[in-house]
Each structure stands twice: as structure tokens, then as C-alpha cells.
Amino acid sequence: GEDVEQSLFLSVREGDSSVINCTYTDSSSTYLYWYKQEPGAGLQLLTYIFSNMDMKQDQRLTVLLNKKDKHLSLRIADTQTGDSAIYFCAEREYSSASKIIFGSGTRLSIRP
């Protein structure tokens, strides 16, 4: 079945770049997503990429997709304290049901 995996924790220094990685198993995924969850809140969509794209950039965020390796990454440039959160990778399967499966989330902490 489908599976999405992420490392649980990442710690970076303020001002550095953060790179959060994700692997998935469904080669027929159509969309891949990054969501952000701040403490006590729901998930907010950060960005998403269609499976026929390799890269998407949106201000400080860069998403890279390697379909051959089924690897997705999110790079946050100039990481700030407000970026502290849990980041979820998710995939949408290609089928009539098209359910969206999430990884366990990567908790990003920022060091001064």
C-alpha cells in the first residue's frame, strides 16, 4: 500500500537553510504536498507540486521532486523562528478514490 516517510526531527540555526526530506512509495502519485502545523493548530497548505514537475519555487520555499527515486524535499531559505513547526509531506494517489496520505511529520526546531 501507499506509504510516506519522513525523519521525525530537524534542528537548524536561525538564518541557515532547512531541508526536509520525504520518500513515498506510490509511483502513480499525481500531486505531492507540504503542509505546516503550528502548535495547537490544524495543518496549513504550504505548497504542492504536480508529478510532472521537477521543481517549484515560492519565495523562501523550494520544492524538489525526484520521481525516479520517489523523493520529495522542501527547502526553506533563511530559516526564521516563525518557521518552527511540524512539516508534513503528503501524496495524492492516482485512482478513482484519490485519497491523500500523509507522512508522520518532521518537527523543525530553530537554534539561535
Partner 1 sequence: DARVTQTPRHKVTEMGQEVTMRCQPILGHNTVFWYRQTMMQGLELLAYFRNRAPLDDSGMPKDRFSAEMPDATLATLKIQPSEPRDSAVYFCASGGFGANVLTFGAGSRLTVL
CB closer to partner 1, 64 vs 101: 101
**What part of residues 41-60 is at the interface with partner 1 (CB under 8 A)?**
41-45, 48
CB closer to partner 1, 21 vs 111: 21
List the one residue from 10, 46, 61, 100 that touches partner 1 (CB under 8 A).
100
CA distance 67 to 82: 31
How far are the Cα atoms of 13, 16, 17, 111 from residue 81, in angstroms, in the given order?
9, 11, 12, 8
Q: Answer whether 48's CB lies under 8 Å from 37's CB.
A: no
Contact window for partner 1 (CB under 8 A) among 15-23, 55-63, 67-75, 96-104: 96-104
Cell numbers 541557515: residue: 16
List the one residue from 31, 46, 73, 84 that touches partner 1 (CB under 8 A).
31
